[in-house]
A = this chain, B = another copy of it.
Amino acid sequence: MAGSLNKVQLIGNVGADPEIKSLNSGDRVANLRIATSESWKDKSTGEKREKTEWHSVVVFGDGLVKVIESYVTKGSKIYISGALQTRKWQDQSGADRYSTEIVLKPFNGELILLSGRGDGGSGAGGGGQDQGGGQAAQTQQRAPAGEIDDSIPF
Q: Could you list which residues of chain A lie within 8 angstroms of chain B, going by C-beta atoms?
A: 1-13, 35-43, 46, 48, 50-55, 60-61, 77, 79, 82-86, 97-100, 102-103, 105-110, 112-115, 119, 121-132, 134, 136-148, 151
Contacts and interface: CB of A to CB of B under 8 A. Distances in A.
A48 B5 CA distance: 19
A132 to B, nearest CB: 6
B108 A144 contact: yes
Given A41-B139, A105-B145, A107-B107, A113 B52 contact: no
Nearest to A80: B5
A143 B4 CA distance: 10
Copies in the complex: 4
Given A105-B141, A142-B108, A40 B130 contact: yes
Given A5-B110, A40-B140, 14 more contacts: A1-B122, A2-B37, A3-B113, A3-B114, A4-B37, A5-B11, A6-B36, A40-B143, A48-B128, A53-B85, A61-B141, A84-B102, A107-B145, A138-B138
Given A7-B8, A108-B142, A2 B121 contact: no
25 contacts: A1-B122, A2-B123, A2-B127, A3-B11, A4-B12, A5-B10, A5-B12, A6-B144, A7-B9, A11-B112, A37-B146, A38-B146, A40-B140, A40-B144, A41-B128, A43-B136, A48-B129, A53-B84, A84-B102, A108-B142, A108-B144, A114-B115, A115-B115, A115-B121, A134-B134
